[in-house]
Structure 1
């Protein structure tokens, strides 16, 4: 099972991961949210929907925000590229994203019952980090079924695995907007947990985005996020305050 999180509408990064042999051979591809909020949201949705029933889709907070914005349920989006991404989606794609679940539970060989979510099992924006204290994890997991042995989440764009109150927590990192080091980050599950990073040609990817995307600041956006200009230390400091 391949787990892809936080693609953020970066088609070249997604294509690089989908070309990985272990992804093409995987029984399932699980998307743990924030699929679309970025420069090529419509193209990313089309590529993933073409994979059919192999893909399990979950919504992230950024996907929800795009839907709410398009439907007039909110006046703005915190992410500057969000309004552009919302308008770049077709109406049928907005409807599709609106129907995505927030969590799913699957049985994975070697890991048993695995709960997949975007941020935490109870909230699509909640922050937990690799160094969050035990009492924080106890609060987050308070209502999780005791039979769940592994929780897979995304949201913070930094890959890690850790034990928390007897559960394995896995974050595959971000495909399209990594913090700490460049490359498209993802994870292979079953029977173990294998964090992966797929390198790809970032200058060429940046040129593709600049040519295809009409977002006014696309060149600066691509340079910052595709090259992972934000370090893991900077990201942890920012998230810890939240």
Structure 2
């Protein structure tokens, strides 16, 4: 059995297409989409493309899906978002059709699979108990134990912070899949995981960054230029992101 874990696509359709091209060769039994699928330059196009796949797909709800559905329902003001995040969320919501809104609204928060040699594997967006809590390899073990309390599975696959890493929290192996569409890493690309009989493999798929950036700039996305420059062409490193997240968490 092989499972491909694609997290945090963020409407980056060129990156998604590149990964799916790789998966045509690998032929996984299932693709798990780990949330934050559409919140980016090509929201409805990304959802439409995924719905047309022949491969079995299990999609999870991330914080972005929850926020976009809330905005679609006219309740954006109830979310505690920054001005920029609110603008993006509203823009994405306005581009979804009612049936697409319903798809996002009914996504599960997590899913489990059992297979050798990994045992029971839980997929969630951020943590098993939250779609928005942030943790990194710099997070103290005491806090990690609190975040993963009560988890019975041997392995947890998560995302949300857009960087690939692995941690051991008590008896639980915690692995971040990274991000297909907005990664924090040493070099640009689309980052994802493959789970199979050989264990868990970190993957990075290269794609035409200049072409993707050019398409994003024509998307009408409110922060198109920033997305092209900072999430496709030149991306933050995992070290920079970890330090930022830990400072933000410490500041409350």
Aligned to 1:223: 229
Trace 1:42-81 onto structure 2 (pairs within 5 A): 42-51=44-53, 54-75=56-77, 77-78=81-82, 79=85, 80-81=87-88
Structure 1 runs of 4+ aligned residues shifted over 3 Å read 21-24
Structure 2 residue 202 is the aligned partner of structure 1 residue 200: no
Q: Which of residues 220, 241, 245 in structure 2 aligns to 1:214?
A: 220
| Contact 2:126–2:134, Cα closer than 8 Å, also in 1 | yes
Q: 1:160 aligns with which of 147, 159, 165?
A: 165
**Structure 2: distance between partners of 1:168 and 1:162:** 6
Report the Cα distance in structure 1 between the residues aligned to 2:223 and 2:121, rounded to whole angstroms.
39
Of residues 224, 242, 245 in structure 2, which corresponds to 1:239? 245
Please name the residue that 2:130 is paired with: 123
Query: What is the Cα deviation at residue 223 of structure 1?
Result: 1.4
Aligned match of 1:105: 112
RMSD: 1.6
CA gap of 1:208–1:24, structure 2 versus 1, over 3 A, is farther
TM-score of the pair, normalised by structure 1: 0.93
Instruction: List alignment gaps of at least 5 residues for structure 2.
Output: none
CA-CA distance at 1:53 after TM superposition: 6.5
Name which of 85, 89, 93 aligns with 1:82: 89
Q: Which secondary structure state, in structure 2, belongs to the residue aligned with residue 83 of structure 1? A: helix
- How many residues align? The count is 239
Contact 1:172 1:186 in 2 (8 A): yes
> Contact (CA 8 Å) 2:210, 2:233: kept in 1 or not?
no
Does 2:20 correspond to 1:18? yes
- In the alignment, structure 1 residue 144 sits paired with structure 2 residue 151: yes
Q: What residue ranges of structure 1 are gaps of 5+ in the alignment? A: none
What is the rounded CA distance, in whole Å, between the counterparts of 1:199 and 1:229 in structure 2? Answer: 14
